[in-house]
Structure 1
Amino acid sequence: MSEATVPAGVPEPTAADDARQPVATAGGAATAAPARGPETAASARRNERSVLAFEENEYTRTELDAMADGLAEALATCGVRSGARVALMSSNRPEFVTAVLAIWRLGAAVVLLSPAWKEAEAAHALEITGTRHAVGDHPVLAGLTDMVSLDDPLPAVTRTFVPPDPAADAVLVFSSGTTGLPKAVRHTHRSFAAAVRHWQDALGLSPDDRIQVATPPSHILGILNIVTALETGCWVRLHRRFDLQKVLAHIQSDRITIEMAVAPIALAMAQYPDLESYDLSSLRYIMWGATPVTASIAETVTRRAGVTWLPAYGASELPVIACSPLDDPRLDSVGKAVAGVEVRVVSLDDGKPVAPGEDGEIQLRAASLMAGYLPESATAAAFDNGWYRTGDVGNLDASGWLRLTDRSKEMIKVRGFQVAPAEIETVLHGHDAVSDCAVFGVPDGANGEAIVAAVATVAPVTADELKATVEQRLAGYKRLRQVLFVAEIPRLPSGKVLRRVLKERYGRPADE
């Protein structure tokens, strides 16, 4: 993902945000970019334009490349080679961008760890990916493995780098599974490049556009926005953390043309009392992603600020699935499949394609589809004869408009983040007072869902103690909103939790 202005739902700042040293500059590396072959006049002009802003500093592509080259040399000195996996756990800062570029220069894959994660979560990510190298600014990662610090000075280099193999892994992001801890989603250079092209086309991006990123870049949408901006040549402002006043002020002062929003940001805008005092006329639209549009919220912002919305739909496994056409945006749909992505809807009963407008599971095929999961054993169940099974339930009408109506998986979606009930249940089962438990989601307005735990106990324990146990072990967005003490957890004879029964009994909206 400003204590006074962060809406419930945007990730809180981490310890690394405030503990780290001031942003490091490229030092001598800025004047020692490696030879890259002859430049055209157009590419030379593009490279000398400012492409990234952070606080009071701006960077040209030449400067970013020089910083990336220096960091690549430092990583190579530590043993990073082609085919390696390198963990990156960092606050929002320019060095996050150059770290991604540096890792790719070496033909290695970047493993994106959320800065909101605690030690157990980060350790699990390192284990399932077999990651032995690390770079970042986060004390959790530094405590788990040798980490190249983003605050270290960079060497000056004058070397060239071999382009990576398109079939090699480029990015690993994490998506929670229904049966336990998060899985790593593997994207190759080829699949991620296809996703970038899809996003460029869907948003109608050009070098004249100006965007800003205030959400965590370790999330698939964050890294997609940054890399797409760099590939397009448009200008991007990176924020240390989400602060609505700063976001609105920079739309006005930077003349931002496209704003990226998830539901909590949209809600914060709709509720902000001084929204009308900002000049937002430079915006072409605000993109709404991660959750289906809440029409009343979007319409409130449009009425107050005159800004239109562009709904979009994606997943860690296939980053760009659908988007509203630029010339015909609609709030009652996540849009139409982007060019290059095939969508079908199949029956939840027999897996056969359903008629237009009929609900079923949404399945996908595309060049931008992930290469698979880690652990590899999780991959097979995600596919049906080559079609990726999203677990989302919806319908596709005869005109190609796609609508989401439910989720067949048991995932809890909090502010655009997927939370696996089993992960929280594992933590609760570790408490001596808990004999059984089950975790489920309840409606929570623009945040999507809030997390509730039904708990059976064998010894006295308070709800606050159980909440604190989860908060100490897992990221902030996985915290429990409510603990319900029950006599027993409803289960099938096989032992499977009947979450549907729990939701029927206790699944009231979180604010009731």
Structure 2
Amino acid sequence: MTEPAVLAFEDREFTLADLDSCADGIAHRLRAHDVGIGDRVALMSSNRPEFVAAVQAVWRLGAVVVLMSPSWKRTEVDHAFGLTAPVAAVGDSPVLAEAVAGQDVPVPMLHLDELHPGESGSTDVPSGFTFPRVDRESDAVLVFSSGTTGLPKAVRHTHASFGAAVAHWRDALALTPADRIQIVTPPSHILGLLNIATALEAGAWMRLHHRFDLETMLRHIERDRITVEMAVAPIAMAIASYPGLESLDLSSLRYIMWGATPVTPSIAETVTRRTGVPWVPAYGASEIPVIACNPIDGGRLDSVGRAVPGVELRVVSLDTGEPVSPGERGEIQVKSRSLMAGYLPADATADAFTDGWYRTGDVGSVDEAGWIRITDRSKEMIKVNGFQVAPAEVEAVLHGHPAVADCAVFGVADEAAGEAVVAAVTPCAGATIDSGEIIGYVAERLASYKRPSRVVLVPEIPRLPSGKVLRRLLEERHGRTSDE
């Protein structure tokens, strides 16, 4: 009997044996560079089958995957290298290749274009090649989540914590071997990796897309008979406004999952009205990938769902830190086996917890029936398309511009992206600020999602005597204006 395909990419399909063979070959090449238990391996790749095999290869060696966004610029990659100290690199990014070449201590890099899963002889492994036994409590993956005080932190997930997250996601979405999904979200983001790992765990069939293209995604729902679609706000908005949506056969879809940002009801309702497909809102974070999910047979657009089995949740007062009554507003805190092991740098971990509870930084309420509503952020993070942006990181770049005397970065509500980045800038005496040039300056140095959507000129940045920026005041003054 021919082994069934589990993954499709462009015009090719791959079986588990194809992925296993490729993973074994990558593992063998990494072992030749002395990569072993506990070592960290940088992985900076586009969405492709070799990415899946590379993750499996690193784990088979007992090593740790350091996920780097393919949209990162050199300064971001250098920061990640300095924080995680990988001993090897795998990927297809020229920025990664430049960073590897620029390290003081040489770091070997395996380019994914050299691999061809499924082709005979492309990933041959010598006989007798064995893998070590992996400790479930050891680190498995590092993903990056910005803090409010500076450059991105690395979130440490063990094999046990990430495995628990996969189990939670599989159960929440009720995925089975009969399901067919497609993945357009970046694999370096926790949601992208979680979707891939969960599809493999559930025995579902999945299609990877190199990048998001609405027309391609919709046509493949028809062609591949996709049963579960994953969406973030920009994808949902694109679907809602697609001119020919009614002419497509989307009858295979059981539901569309909405994640990363709270649901925009008008957009979700438009899609359901035009297609008949319901939504399943869900809620998670890099630190704890699956917190809550709506039931697949009756989701609500005004809630991110209920806590999934295996996740404890409480809401505490923003003033006292004490638990509040059902329906009252406060910070959402969680406990779970799927919770991260901590951050790098390690000294950032303590502030993320209180009495063993992880502080999500999200403000909301939980009613007596367990329905969760997210209303705000207690932290200063800006969440753009599910990616976290630290104002301090963007400000550090802006301060390097010769025409900028002072600056502050804040977030404003954005229908498509959840939030958008806005930069308030005070020019140096006699200097002229060109907003487009300032935005381009940031874009050259940081990932595209960290780029300000607009720049507002202010005579001074409002601050407390301590120097802390009054971001709320900036949001009130400039959050809804178009002045520059």
- Could you tell me how far apart the structure 2 residues matched to 1:104 and 1:165 are? 11
Q: Residues 511 and 172 (structure 1 numbering): CA distance in 2 closer, same or farther, change over 3 Å?
A: farther
Partner secondary structure for residue 29 of structure 2: helix
Mapped contact 2:233–2:261 kept (Cα < 8 A): yes
Distance in 1, matches of 2:87 and 2:98, equals 13
Match of 1:469 in 2: 441
* Structure 1 residue 435 displacement after superposition: 1.2
Aligned to 2:474: 502
Change (3 A) 1:278 1:511: farther
Equivalent position of 1:11 in the other structure: none
Q: In 2 relative to 1, CA 163–208 (structure 1 residues): closer, same or farther, beyond 3 Å?
A: farther
Alignment equivalent of 1:250, drawn from 202, 216, 220: 220
Q: CA deviation at 1:447?
A: 1.2
1:169 aligns with 139
- Tell me, yes or no, if structure 1 residue 193 matches structure 2 residue 139: no
CA distance in structure 2 between the aligned counterparts of 1:74 and 1:433, rounded to whole angstroms: 49
Letter of the 2:300 counterpart: R
The aligned counterpart of 1:304 is 274
SS of residue paired to 1:316: coil
Q: Deviations over 1:347-403 (max 9, x none)?
A: 000000000000000000000000000011110000001000000000000000011
Give TM-score, length-normalised by structure 2: 0.95
Segments of 4+ in structure 1 off by > 6 A?
A: 509-512
State the alpha-carbon separation in 2 of the partners of residues 328 and 483 from structure 1. 42
1:443 aligns to what SS in structure 2?
strand
* Residue pairs, 1:355-434, within 5 angstroms: 355-434=325-404
Which residue matches 2:96? 141
Aligned partners of 2:31, 2:79: CA distance in 1, in Å? 25
- TM-score, normalised to structure 1, is 0.90
> Shift of residue 460 of structure 1?
2.5
- What does residue 124 of structure 2 align with? 156
Separation in structure 1 between the aligned mates of residue 481 and residue 35 of structure 2, nearest angstrom: 49
- The Cα offsets for residues 230-250 of structure 1, whole Å up to 9 and x where unpaired, read as 111110000011011111111
Give CA deviations for 1:34-70 in whole Å, capped at 9, x if unaligned: xxxxxxxxxxx7x922000000100000111011001
Deviation at 1:315, TM superposition (A): 0.2
Of the three residues 55, 64, 70, the one matched with 1:109 is 64
> Any conservation in 2 of the 1:126–1:132 contact (CA below 8 Å)?
no
Instruction: Write the distance in 1 (CA, Å) between the matches of 2:321 and 2:114.
Output: 54
Quote how far apart the aligned CAs of 1:121 are.
Answer: 0.4
User: Does the CA-based 8 Å contact 1:450-1:510 persist in structure 2?
Assistant: no
1:122-133 correspondence runs (5 A) = 122-133=77-88
CA distance in 2, matches of 1:510, 1:443: 14
Q: Secondary structure at the match of 2:246?
A: helix
Conserved? CA contact 1:443–1:510, under 8 Å: no
Q: What is the match of residue 291 of structure 2?
A: 321
Structure 1 position 446, deviation (Å): 2.7
Residue 138 (structure 1) shift: 0.4
Secondary structure of the 1:135 match is strand
Equivalent residues of 2:73, 2:95 under 8 A apart: yes
3-state SS of paired residue (2:113):
coil
Shift of 1:162: 2.5
1:227 to 180, 197, 219: 197
CA distance in 2, matches of 1:296, 1:463: 32
Query: SS at 2:114's partner residue?
Result: coil
Q: Residue 510 and residue 292 in structure 1: after superposition, are their counterparts in 2 closer, same or farther (change >3 A)? A: farther
The CA deviation at 1:463 is: 1.5
1:263 aligns to 2:236 (yes or no): no
The percent of aligned pairs where both chains have the same amino acid is: 67
Kept after mapping to 1: 8 A contact 2:255/2:296: no
Unaligned ranges ≥5, structure 2: 101-107, 116-121
Separation (CA, whole Å) in 1 of partners of 2:339 and 2:467: 34
1:446 partner SS: coil
Partner in structure 1 of residue 119 of structure 2: none
- 3-state SS in 1 of match to 2:131: coil
Aligned AA for 1:448?
G
Of 43, 46, 61, the match for 2:16: 61
Count of residues in correspondence between the two structures: 467
Measure, in 2, the Cα distance between the counterparts of 1:498 and 1:115: 33
Aligned-residue CA RMSD in angstroms? 1.4
- CA–CA separation in structure 1 for the residues paired with 2:15 and 2:427: 59
Match of 1:90 among 45, 56, 61: 45
CA distance in 2, matches of 1:306, 1:205: 20
CA contact 1:444–1:510 (8 Å) conserved in 2: no
Match of 2:308 in 1: 338
Cα deviations by residue, 1:177-222 (Å, 9 ceiling, x for unpaired): 1001110000000000000000000000111100000110110000
After superposition, give the CA deviation of every residue in 1:266-285 in whole Å (9 maximum; x if it has no partner).
00000000111110000110
